[in-house]
Amino acid sequence: MGRAPCCDKASVKKGPWSPEEDAKLKSYIEQNGTGGNWIALPQKIGLKRCGKSCRLRWLNYLRPNIKHGGFSEEEDRIILSLYISIGSRWSIIAAQLPGRTDNDIKNYWNTRLKKKLFGKQSRKDQRQQQQFMRQAAANDGMKQEEATQDPIGSSGVPAVTYNWHHQAMAGPVPPVPGMMMEGHHIGDEVDESIRKLLYKLGGAVPLATLPVPHCVPPTYEGSPSLMPPSCMVETTSCNEGSVQGSSTLPALELDQSFRFNQVKLDGLDCFFGMGTDRSMRWGEVSPLVCPNNTVASSSQGMQQYFLDEPANLGMK
């Protein structure tokens, strides 16, 4: 026996909202507010919709000052930083981005940002990039002889690709304009500071000092030799705004930090095939919210978010 449905599904309309429904809902809420009861709201307005559906429509679409699409690099940074720190708590992340909804951010992360940061590239981005490449090549007049040696195929897409952690594996090589990260232009969509942040997260965060449980997965069985360096050694935090720290971090360390830092990277298992523990509670999160948290402080502008009390982050 399951939970009783929140509404009579047979008499409730589903699917996309019509402009008329939108207008009804919007004008009513603007005049009267929600009345603190979403379930009763559709009946008051005369909408054949579920209360939850009304709430969702209002919050994600009709609410004033909603922004759609066109995420800035700064927003990318914030989303990434928060995602790495707290995982897929979209509502909390959305609370830090005025005008953005949790649904919007969730969609953006799942469809765009994840691919953008971790290698896979959408065809749309590929096209934009190819266009850019062609234009650049045309502007250049194809005068450089390297062009013949450069493994760029007839499509304009280089045969050699990287993703950011491959990049990290190769050491702190400064990004070369036009260099690709698995089909991506370093310095184009993927902004330098994000990569710095990723470097730091992988290499300089003294995981062993963080009050985070289960840093070391059971497969290590306590054998220090098998632990990733980031779990064993209290590495020195690298200088703010610098990738110098990455020069002291073994390339492998970055990759392994992503593999084994399950709490910070909750949700990134999709990249590494890890399982996830969705049972984190605020009591466990609170150490991450600590302003001394290297993760938070390593991200430009992130300190303000973590200096806030949890309540200010939309916590209950």
Partner DNA sequence: AACTGTTTCAACCGCGTATTC
Partner DNA sequence: AGAATACGCGGTTGAAACAGT
Binding site for DNA (CB under 7 A): 2-4, 6, 9, 13-17, 34, 36-40, 50-53, 55-57, 60-61, 68-69, 88-92, 102-104, 106-108, 110-112, 115, 122-125, 127, 267, 278, 281, 314, 316
User: Rounded to the nearest whole angstrom, what is the least distance from the CB of residue 57 to DNA in the complex?
Assistant: 5
User: Rounded to the nearest whole angstrom, what is the least distance from the CB of residue 81 to DNA in the complex?
Assistant: 15
Per the structure block, which two tokens stand in for 220?
């290590």
Half-sphere exposure of 209 (CA within 13 A, CB side): 13
Which residue lies nearer to DNA by CB, 243 or 285?
285
Which residue lies nearer to DNA by CB, 189 or 253?
189
Which residue lies nearer to DNA by CB, 92 or 243?
92
Distance CA 76, CA 190 (A): 9
Residues β-bridged to residue 186: 190
Distance CA 164, CA 199 (A): 9
Which residue lies nearer to DNA by CB, 33 or 177?
33
User: Rounded to the nearest whole angstrom, what is the least distance from the CB of residue 133 to DNA in the complex?
Assistant: 13
Per the structure block, which two tokens stand in for 145?
């002889």
40: closest CA among 23, 28, 22?
A: 28
Which residue lies nearer to DNA by CB, 134 or 239?
134
Q: Which residue shows structure tokens 């902004």? A: 191
User: Rounded to the nearest whole angstrom, what is the least distance from the CB of residue 181 to DNA in the complex?
Assistant: 16
| Burial (CB count within 10 angstroms: exposed 0-12, middle 13-18, buried 19+), residue 274 | middle
User: Rounded to the nearest whole angstrom, what is the least distance from the CB of residue 240 to DNA in the complex?
Assistant: 29
Determine contact, residues 212/290, Cβ cutoff 8 Å. no
User: Measuring CA to CA, how many Å separate 77 from each of 82, 239, 300?
Assistant: 8, 19, 9
Which residue lies nearer to DNA by CB, 39 or 136?
39
User: In the chain, which ranges are continuous DSSP H helix?
Assistant: 19-32, 41-45, 51-57, 73-86, 90-95, 102-108, 114-118, 123-140, 146-149, 164-169, 192-203, 229-232, 244-248, 251-260, 269-272, 282-289, 294-298, 303-307
Determine contact, residues 181/125, Cβ cutoff 8 Å. no
Which residue lies nearer to DNA by CB, 35 or 224?
35
Per the structure block, which two tokens stand in for 104?
């919007």
User: Rounded to the nearest whole angstrom, what is the least distance from the CB of residue 300 to DNA in the complex?
Assistant: 23
Which residue lies nearer to DNA by CB, 87 or 203?
87
User: Rounded to the nearest whole angstrom, what is the least distance from the CB of residue 256 to DNA in the complex?
Assistant: 23
User: Rounded to the nearest whole angstrom, what is the least distance from the CB of residue 212 to DNA in the complex?
Assistant: 19
3-state secondary structure of 1: coil
User: Rounded to the nearest whole angstrom, what is the least distance from the CB of residue 304 to DNA in the complex?
Assistant: 20
Which residue lies nearer to DNA by CB, 28 or 108?
108
